[in-house]
Structure 1
């Protein structure tokens, strides 16, 4: 079977964190949480409440300084207020402080401290802390490497619907090792995240259908899931969807649509799409190329629906094959 690499993405109080691969570096995809429906923060009021020991106010001040909401971004101040709230056992603050220690923002990088704060939050049922703690165990950061513990914490978060944890758990089953390789289980967990609209999981599930790994080989299902991810601006999925249209696998043969999606993938950083465009243009008429360019231009004016989707990676080689 094709060799597949995975992507590590960590998640703070403002960052969702998904891991797909051993040895990869964290990729942040910022998503504020907390009082996001009302981002207007009364800083002076929060400061007054914080001086009175209000843990929620301390956490919100930390969040404000971390995100630069209502104040200038200042990770040192964020860490100070998160620490105050964490001292009162706020799981959100414990999680956020763990992230700051993991990333070395506002504090010296300290994986032991990061793992300790993630553990405190995870034991209180904080989903993303459970996921991040799983990653710490998977890669031996601040704790002894322990794949079984990684599986345990990923499963805790995955069972409660955390899509990144579902992907991380799928990746453990996909790679095998200390956790026995189980492709059907990997497909099941990718499907759970894909069903909730998570583009990387949709691309990974599509690859499994395209190759018949853990699921019956089914080009139509591969096309369905890769289309879902491509529509969200996921460059690898756009590359694969273009290939399906070029080959007529799972979708009708259509060079115009293929060219359009290759153009989108190239714009998203997929270098292989450039070579595919050159080859495809040799068998297309000028009218078809013009039509495809117009469609690609219209597509480029539609921003991706998933933040950072175009920068994310799937579990490895595209439908086209190894790089």
Structure 2
């Protein structure tokens, strides 16, 4: 009787200590967490072993000791602790503190998969999709992604949607694609935001809804998606679905352009050239036109040619003018074609020399 009570008391005490340790970990009080996890690890508590391993392996609250961290992960994983098995799969996939080994990575992921964990299933699906540690098998990958997606894994939901968008191993199906993109987006998987937005904007897989499209584009833009940022710039420039706002338009074009988005670079350059915010910035405009032109944007190439022709933001340069106007014209930019035509003189047919009577010359 006394023994049973003691065991119950000990277990309750362990659970309380584990809760304290996890609270310290979650609040980033890593030194306290390590102390508590160390105590629990002596009893081989799998969860404590895993979190202690995380602290040592990644250097949280202590100097990084990947060898010790790895031993702790393995100790937890061998007891069937799923998160440790997934962590080992990740470590061996990327070669952190060990020699990268896709087969060993897959083995750990598969051990975690056996528990039915959606995150582990998604990782195994990834291995089959890209042929990591196993022969590539897109059919198998699709099947596993579907299982993981149903289990709530956001990455699997996003990837499954991409399969339906691209028609990989399934028929192209925008309705099913939208369903899974939306499921992922609702879990705050940021890469899905732009796809949900585009679906609402184009009416692909769902009814057209400009307000919802802009709402999702805004979320994507806030998370750094350059396409979404450029689109938000357009909406604020034109007042489409929002109150027209030149300052916000410039703000979003700027952030997209800073990421190298060619269309945004051109759009921002146009604003600087015409002075949309009240001041012309020809030097900045020329710089952005050039950045965009070098990415083969034909409108930027035309504008860059005009900069060199008139010396706007750069010194006049006939050779550069000819180069960029021809580049733009090659891509069918009509203004560039018209510009070239003004400089080409129509050929005048050569007139035949009339025959002369040699007797007259004599």
Q: Secondary structure at the match of 2:26?
A: coil
> Cα–Cα, structure 1 residues 77 and 235, in superposed 2: closer, same or farther, change >3 Å?
farther
CA shift, 1:176, in A, is 1.2
Q: Which has the higher contact order (CA 8 A, sep 6+)?
A: 1
Partner of 1:67: 58
> Cα–Cα, structure 1 residues 53 and 221, in superposed 2: closer, same or farther, change >3 Å?
closer
After superposition, the C-alpha distances for 1:235-272 in whole angstroms (9 at most, x for unaligned) are 33212211233344443544332211111223455454
Partner of 2:26: 37
Q: Tell me if the contact between 1:40 and 1:69 (Cα under 8 Å) persists in the aligned partners.
A: no
Gaps of 5+ in 2: 1-21, 282-362
Distance (Å, rounded) in 2 between the aligned partners of 1:130 and 1:250: 41
Distance (Å, rounded) in 2 between the aligned partners of 1:248 and 1:37: 44
Distance (Å, rounded) in 1 between the aligned partners of 2:157 and 2:179: 9
1:193 to 184, 187, 196: 184
Q: Tell me if the contact between 2:82 and 2:115 (Cα under 8 Å) persists in the aligned partners.
A: yes
Q: Tell me if the contact between 1:55 and 1:88 (Cα under 8 Å) persists in the aligned partners.
A: yes
Distance (Å, rounded) in 2 between the aligned partners of 1:75 and 1:210: 48
Moved over 4 A (4+): none
2:119 to 93, 103, 128: 128
Partner of 1:274: 265
Q: Tell me if the contact between 2:197 and 2:215 (Cα under 8 Å) persists in the aligned partners.
A: yes
2:108 to 111, 117, 128: 117
Alignment partner of 1:175 is 2:175? no
Partner of 2:353: none
> Cα–Cα, structure 1 residues 235 and 78, in superposed 2: closer, same or farther, change >3 Å?
farther
Alignment partner of 1:164 is 2:160? no
After superposition, the C-alpha distances for 1:108-128 in whole angstroms (9 at most, x for unaligned) are 111111111111112213232
After superposition, the C-alpha distances for 1:93-137 in whole angstroms (9 at most, x for unaligned) are 100000001001111111111111111112213232222221111
Distance (Å, rounded) in 2 between the aligned partners of 1:246 and 1:96: 47
1:100 to 91, 96, 102: 91
Partner of 2:226: 235
Question: More helix per residue: 1 or 2?
Answer: 2
Q: Secondary structure at the match of 1:287?
A: coil
Alignment partner of 1:265 is 2:256? yes
After superposition, the C-alpha distances for 1:23-72 in whole angstroms (9 at most, x for unaligned) are xxxxxxxxxxx765243244345345434433222211211123321212
Q: Tell me if the contact between 1:79 and 1:107 (Cα under 8 Å) persists in the aligned partners.
A: no
2:139 to 139, 148, 155: 148
CA shift, 1:198, in A, is 2.9
Q: Tell me if the contact between 1:255 and 1:284 (Cα under 8 Å) persists in the aligned partners.
A: no
Q: Tell me if the contact between 1:135 and 1:150 (Cα under 8 Å) persists in the aligned partners.
A: yes
Distance (Å, rounded) in 2 between the aligned partners of 1:195 and 1:49: 37
Distance (Å, rounded) in 1 between the aligned partners of 2:173 and 2:277: 48
Larger Rg: 2
TM-score under structure 1 normalisation? 0.71
Q: Secondary structure at the match of 1:282?
A: helix
Partner of 2:286: none
Alignment partner of 1:83 is 2:77? no
CA shift, 1:204, in A, is 1.2
CA shift, 1:288, in A, is 7.6
